[in-house]
Amino acid sequence: MMSPGRRTLEDRVTFWLKVVILGVLVWLILARLVAYVSALSFVAIIAVGGLFVSYLFYPIVRRLNERLPLWASIAIVYLGAALAIAGALWYVLPVVLNQLHGFLASLPQYENASRRVLDDRRLPFWRMPQSVRIYVEALPATIGTYVEEHTTALVGSLISMLLSALALAALFVAIPVVSIYMLAEAETIKRFLLGVLPARGRERAKKVLTDLDEVVGGFVRGQLVVAVSVGLMTTLLLLALRVPFALLIGVWAGLIDVVPYLGAFAGAIPAIAIALISDGLTSALLVTLGFTVINQIEGHLLAPRIVSRTVRVTPLVVVFAVLIGGELFGLAGMFVAVPVAGVLRVIIENVRPPETLTNAEVEPALTKLPQPEVDPTATTTAASL
């Protein structure tokens, strides 16, 4: 007869073997899905774009739908959005394109100015090893050539894309149309999904769908608000400090901020460099201080209150999700990485809800409060005795 201790050991080995096999299967399925999505990238862009646009407008449509038919609510919202976008492009796009042209034309001047800055013997730069100085001295020409070549290539690829009838249809017709159909058929899809489930599982399924709506919708709307806020703060900061190309850098910072935490840093690098070359070290330090404040406002005020409270994933998960998304799908993958992480969190929590453990049960080695002040009966180390 097998002893209880040996049986327990075999049960544990069997359990972890199942976990490993399940992990391998999940990895194989994800790899196959990535391959399929890559093969259907055009369709995937339309589907994901339509989903995000529909989530963006869903709260307004729902509010109007309390008094108006669904078709009228959708028509009002999309017509208003089209007019707002057209008005913004009418006033902002010419200025941005003019500043972009001026920036490209000024690259040789900035390269020469940066060389003059580096020639200042008072800089700590001249106390560096010779090999480092040679590398830094070559940076202005290298960066100028890189920016000029890649910006020209980017503009050329954008023009080619806009001239493509298929891409034009995807950007200006297919995505809005798909999002309209998603809104119009949302309840039909929900009714179908619940209808194919057994009655005992419908309540949990409705909770999962509600949580998924909250995660994806909260991220899309919240990240848009954060991105616009970062772009606006960046533009106002650079205008106040009289840094050239303020609107261009602000638009760039806002656009890239759709990927969490990148906007302020992406705007800071060119802004600090231009301020240093144009107006000297004092201006560059003021720009650095301003971007530090913007980054703190985004990281500690805007993002936690607007995005994190709905997606509910930790900053460490956000970092790895963005890295994995970028590795698999590039910039688009970095954008969708956080809501995907939130979706996985919802699924895991509903399949196996985590237990709430006290500090006495966890015995944390690191605590938010000083350890003698932590309440052992609380479920967070931020709670005091």
Model confidence at 2, in pLDDT bands (50, 70, 90)?
very low
* Mean pLDDT computed over 186-211: 85
Least confident of 104-113, 184-193, 246-255: 104-113
* Mean pLDDT computed over 281-290: 89
The SS3 of residue 174 is helix
Adjacent-strand bridge partners of 210: none
* Mean pLDDT computed over 174-183: 90
* Mean pLDDT computed over 218-236: 88
Q: How far is residue 385 from each of residues 239, 360, 366, measured CA to CA in Å? A: 49, 13, 17
**Cβ(328)–Cβ(32) below 8 Å:** no
- Cα separation, 52 vs 39, in Å, equals 21
* Mean pLDDT computed over 175-185: 90
**Is residue 290 predicted with pLDDT exceeding 80?**
yes
Domain limits, the chain: 38-184, 206-350
- Cα separation, 323 vs 103, in Å, equals 30
The SS3 of residue 67 is coil
